[in-house]
Amino acid sequence: MSILNDGLIYLLVNKYHVVSTEWQYFALLLTFVILSIAASYFLGSINSAIIVSRLVYGEDVRTKGSGNAGLTNMHRNYGNKGALLTLLGDASKTAIAILFTALLLGFGYNHGISLNDGYCYMSGLFVALGHVFPIYYGFKGGKGVLVTAITAMILTPLPSLFLFVLFVAVVAASKYVSLGSVTVAVLYPVVVSGYVSFVFGGAKLPGILALCCILFSILIVWCHRKNLQRISDRTENKISFKKKKDD
């Protein structure tokens, strides 16, 4: 597990001494960062909802319901089976991207949170950007909620437990998945910062980590701007947990 926690870069620099100057180290680091960003974005651009709807149901989910290629629209149109397959696909691509980044640059897991130099958070962010703006589908994808949630669960599992309970409570009370998503997204930087301060004796969340958390929040809120307007107008669709006939 040491290579996951420290990364290949640590072994190359400190054990095998493949670099001898700061410039060589910077070049190696930059190469690994670019590889991580590219892999994360291209993996993120793989849209599980579109693939599942086409392969399993012979349709394109973007022509159904809200037109969004995401988990909620999959559940609304294809029921639990479609939603589960989408969840598995999006969770897998997110986990693979973060694992790849951890292999290169380290995970830095400590006290229920990843505290590396922000590389794994950056990886999750580019997975989300790929999901929202996929290169394979004309830069029109989903809203990034699921991949962001998976990233949070991997990198900040303990704070994410609280946020998951809050998400369930908001959705159960309002029947609006979008409202639950936005609520949790807005609170994510606050909860993670508070957790770090509590566990590490008043320590502040490292700058790059704080920035990534804030960018996650901004992305989710921006993607749900139309949903928020529809909630205000009382025209937003409410979630239904009734089982589809084809499940």
- Residue 226 sits in which domain range? 2-233
Residue 242 is assigned to a structural domain of this protein: no
Q: Is residue 247 part of a domain?
A: no
- In this predicted structure, the answer to whether residue 107 has a pLDDT above a threshold of 90 is no
Query: Does the residue 138 lie in any domain?
Result: yes
38 assigned to some structural domain:
yes
Angle at 101 between CA 95 and CA 105, to 5 degrees: 145
Residues paired with residue 110 on neighbouring β-strands, in sequence order:
113
Percentage of the chain lying above the pLDDT 70 cut: 92
Query: Per the domain annotation, does 47 fall within a domain?
Result: yes
What confidence tier does 116 reach under pLDDT thresholds 50, 70, 90?
low
Instruction: Indicate the SS3 state at residue 66.
Output: coil
For residue 4, the tally of other CB atoms under 10 A from its CB is: 14
Q: Is the dihedral of CA 212, 189, 97, 92 positive or negative?
A: negative
247 has a pLDDT exceeding 80: no
Contact yes or no for 184/167 (Cβ under 8 A): yes
Assigned domain for 14 exists? yes
Q: Which two tokens stand for residue 137?
A: 């589908």
How far CA 232 is from CA of 7, 9, 140, 235, in Å, comes to 47, 49, 25, 8
> Would residue 134 count as lying in a domain?
yes
Split into its structural domains, the chain has a count of: 1
Tell whether the model's pLDDT for residue 154 goes beyond 60.
yes
